[in-house]
Structure 1
């Protein structure tokens, strides 16, 4: 691979642009997971979360693209993503600084980002791999360059979540929407019901995923006792 070749630069720009588009949901997850961290830990958590997201994107694109056609993989991934979204709602507003150190909270946030990115990368890796073809250095270069852009997006979303807590629910609903789309695209379901039918159900499935997350989050979220009582 020669970086003098203008075609290489075109491919590199394409990978960067594609990763920015595909990482919008990653930025939401990073922001949701890091919003409760202390200000001193928040920037570190966002940077680590973005780094984990990009590294996992590389690993999945290079090694696991062949698994994307495995039956039930998208179904399992969708259920896991719903669980993550509901968990983020349940933990919103909880304060456990007395029982958890800042360091452990930081790594807990990064762990949440890692699990969510593994799930959400399932559909993204094919698009990026298709651009990079067999050029692993080109793939890695494009994704690494994207890290600051993901960090910027996550930082902006985190500041919005801090000012407007209701956006936590909106972010969780977005993850539910992605889960619904992922569930609807499972190869086993496509084989059983046909691609045309599942394509027509794509938006209803996504909407159902978002509603499921909101309903479970509302039902399972601990109620704060009324101080007047």
Structure 2
């Protein structure tokens, strides 16, 4: 049973909420697209039951992820995958939601929300499993708190992310931090490593955060289109 008076418990809850906000921004878009063909009087019911089903399925997926992460080497694999997810978060991409078709019936809309959320939530499941330190109660509490923020506050969050790029950078760093700590706790890692290195958990976590930010920023600069000045300079050199 988690200690609700512990600062570590609430830090983990805040991490889970931050993960859900950073990685769950598309959930509101999925819900809107899935329910757009429903009659107005059924849309609220579609949203409610779709979100309930998505929450239940996500908690079940995280439960199995927590059990799997107890096996040797899987935390290392999960940590590497989480580092990649954090880097990907910092690299701008064109989002496509055209494949999400709105249902014409309440049941179809609910099914669409649940299936789409499950497909899109692999990164979320791994990140939350890493931040929860094996506690399903912590996972459930964090998700229940964060889902309303994601669904009804996603527009505000996305606006903040567009206006303040530092928010995205901090989110990527958080994923790297969790990945570094997850890797150190893998059963295959030698215990002498954590015992011989002072504050090993913080060191590994910090290395993970720095790796995500440095590599992510580098890849983001590569993806940026050349400025008019650069195009003009290149044209002059070719003459």
**TM-score by structure 2 length?**
0.56
1:112 to 105, 113, 120: 120
2:222 alignment counterpart: 219
TM alignment of 1:87-102, pairs within 5 A: 89-91=92-94, 94=95, 97=98, 101-102=101-102
Q: Deviations over 1:19-43 (max 9, x none)?
A: 7434213322453233544735485
**Counterpart Cα distance in 2 of 1:201 and 1:180:** 9
Question: Is 2:92 aligned against 1:73?
Answer: no
**Counterpart Cα distance in 1 of 2:55 and 2:32:** 17
Question: Is 2:149 aligned against 1:153?
Answer: yes
2:130 alignment counterpart: 123
2:44 alignment counterpart: none
1:56 to 61, 69, 75: 61
How far does residue 109 in structure 1 lie from its aligned partner after superposition? Answer: 5.2
Check whether the contact 1:180–1:207 (CA below 8 A) recurs between aligned residues. yes
2:16 alignment counterpart: 23
Unaligned residue ranges in structure 1 (runs of 5+)? 1-7, 130-138, 224-229
C-alpha spacing 1:52/1:220, structure 2 compared with 1 (3 Å) = farther
Question: Is 2:194 aligned against 1:173?
Answer: no
Matched residue pairs, number? 198
C-alpha spacing 1:176/1:19, structure 2 compared with 1 (3 Å) = closer
Unaligned residue ranges in structure 2 (runs of 5+)? 36-46, 104-110, 227-239
How far does residue 120 in structure 1 lie from its aligned partner after superposition? Answer: 0.9
1:134 alignment counterpart: none
1:207 to 206, 210, 217: 210
How far does residue 48 in structure 1 lie from its aligned partner after superposition? Answer: 5.4
How far does residue 90 in structure 1 lie from its aligned partner after superposition? Answer: 0.7
1:133 alignment counterpart: none
